[in-house]
Chains A and B, each alone.
Chain A
Amino acid sequence: MKNLLAIEWLKIKSYKTFWILAGFFALLLPLWNYGISNGVMKIGGGNINLISQAYSFAYVWQNIGFWTSIFVAFISILTIIITTNEYQFRTNRQNVIDGWTRLDFYHGKWQIVLLLSLLTTLYVFIVGVGFGLAYGSTSGFPGKIEYLFYIWVLSLNYYSFSLLLAILFKRSGITIGIFFLYCMIIEAIVSKFVNWRLDTKAGNFMPLQCSDELLPFPILDIIKAMAKMQDTINPNYYVGASFVWITLYYFIGRKKLMASDCKFAV
Chain B
Amino acid sequence: MTGTMLSINQISKSYGPIRALNGVSFDVPQGSVFGVLGPNGSGKTTLLGILLDVLNADAGSYSWLGGAAPADARRQIGSLLETPNFYHYLSAMDNLNITAAIKQRGKDDRERVLKLVGLYERKDSKFQTYSLGMKQRLALAAALLGEPKILVLDEPTNGLDPAGIAEIRELIKTLNQQGMTVIMASHLLDEVEKVCTHVAILKKGDLLLSGKVDEVLRSEDQVEVNAEDQNRLKEIVEGMPLLKSIHSSSNGLLLSFTEKMATGRINEYCMQHGVTLSHLVLKKKSLESKFMELTNF
Report which A residues bind B (CB closer than 8 A): 3, 6-7, 10-11, 14-16, 85, 89-91, 93-102, 104, 259-262
A131 and B66 CA atoms in complex are apart in Å by 63
Contact yes or no, B79 A97, CB < 8 A: yes
Q: Are B54 and A97 in contact (CB under 8 A)?
A: yes
B interface list, Cβ under 8 A from A = 49, 52-56, 70-72, 74-75, 79, 81, 83, 85-90, 94, 97-99, 101-104, 142
CB atoms of B83 and A96 under 8 A apart: no
Residues of A within 8 A of B79 (CB): 97-98
Please state if B85 and A99 are interface contacts (CB–CB under 8 Å): no
Chain A residues closer than 8 Å to B53, beta-carbon distance: 96-97, 101-102
A97/B101 in contact, CB under 8 A: no
Q: List 7 A-B contacts (CB under 8 A).
A: A7-B98, A10-B101, A90-B83, A93-B81, A94-B99, A99-B102, A259-B56
Q: Is the CB of A98 within 8 A of B75?
A: yes
B residues within 8 A CB of A90?
83, 85
* Residues of B with C-beta under 8 A to A95: 102
Whether A91 pairs with B87 at a CB distance below 8 angstroms is yes
Whose C-beta in chain B lies nearest to the C-beta of A101?
B71
Interface residue from B52, B72, B90 paired with A96 (Cβ < 8 Å) = B52
Interface of A (DSSP majority class): helix
| With known contacts A10-B97, A261-B55, A262-B55, A98–B89 Cβ distance under 8 A | no
> Could you tell me if B94 and A94 are in contact, using CB atoms closer than 8 angstroms?
no
Contact between chains at B89 and A14 (CB < 8 Å): yes
How far is it, in angstroms, between the C-alpha of A116 and the C-alpha of B89 when the chains are bound? 21
- Known contacts A93-B54, A261-B56; A98/B87 CB under 8 A: no
Instruction: Determine the distance from Cα of A94 to Cα of B104 in the docked complex, in whole angstroms.
Output: 15
A85-B81 in contact (CB<8A):
no
Q: Is B74 a contact of A85 with CB atoms below 8 Å?
A: no
The 6 A-B pairs of least Cβ separation, nearest first, read A99-B75, A94-B85, A90-B85, A262-B54, A99-B74, A98-B102
Q: From B55, B70, B101, name the one whose CB has the most chain A CB atoms within 10 angstroms.
A: B101
Q: Is the CB of A7 within 8 A of B101?
A: yes
Contacts A14-B90, A14-B94, A97-B81 known; 20 new A-B pairs at CB < 8 A: A6-B101, A7-B101, A7-B102, A11-B87, A11-B90, A85-B87, A89-B88, A90-B85, A91-B85, A91-B86, A91-B87, A94-B85, A95-B102, A98-B74, A98-B79, A98-B103, A99-B72, A99-B75, A101-B70, A261-B49
A contact residues around B85 at 8 Å (CB)? 89-91, 93-94
**Closest residue of B by beta carbon distance from A18:** B89
Given contacts A7-B98, A10-B98, A99-B102, contact A94 B55 (CB under 8 A): no
With a 10 A CB-CB cut-off, give which of A15, A99, A100, A260 has the most chain B CB atoms. A99
Give the distance in Å from the alpha carbon of A11 to the alpha carbon of B86 in the complex.
10
Contacts of B72 in A (CB 8 A): 99
Give Cα A93–Cα B49 distance, bound, in whole angstroms: 9
Interchain CA distance A3-B88 in the complex, whole Å? 22
Residues in A with CB closer than 8 Å to B86 are 89, 91, 94
Query: Closest B-chain residue to A108, C-beta based?
Result: B102
With a cutoff of 8 Å between Cβ atoms, the chain B residues found around residue A260 in the complex are 56
Closest to A8 in B: B98
What residues of B have a CB within 8 angstroms of the CB of A15 in the complex? 87, 89-90
- For A91, the chain B residues whose CB sits under 8 A away are 85-87
Q: Which residues of A contact B89 (CB under 8 A)?
A: 14-16
Q: Which of chain B's residues has its CB closest to A100's CB? A: B102
Which residue, of B54, B55, B56, B97, has the highest number of chain A Cβ atoms within 10 A?
A: B54
Q: Which of B72, B86, B98 has the most CB of A within 10 A?
A: B98
- Given A7-B98, A262-B55 in contact, is the A99-B87 Cβ separation under 8 Å? no
A104 vs B53: C-alpha distance in the bound complex, in angstroms?
13
Contacts of B90 in A (CB 8 A): 11, 14-15
Interface core residue of B83, B87, B88, B94 (most chain A CB under 10 Å):
B87
Residue pair A99, B104 in contact (C-beta under 8 Å): yes
What is the chain A residue whose CB lies nearest that of B80?
Answer: A97
Please report the C-alpha to C-alpha distance between residue A89 and residue B81 in the assembled complex, in whole angstroms: 14
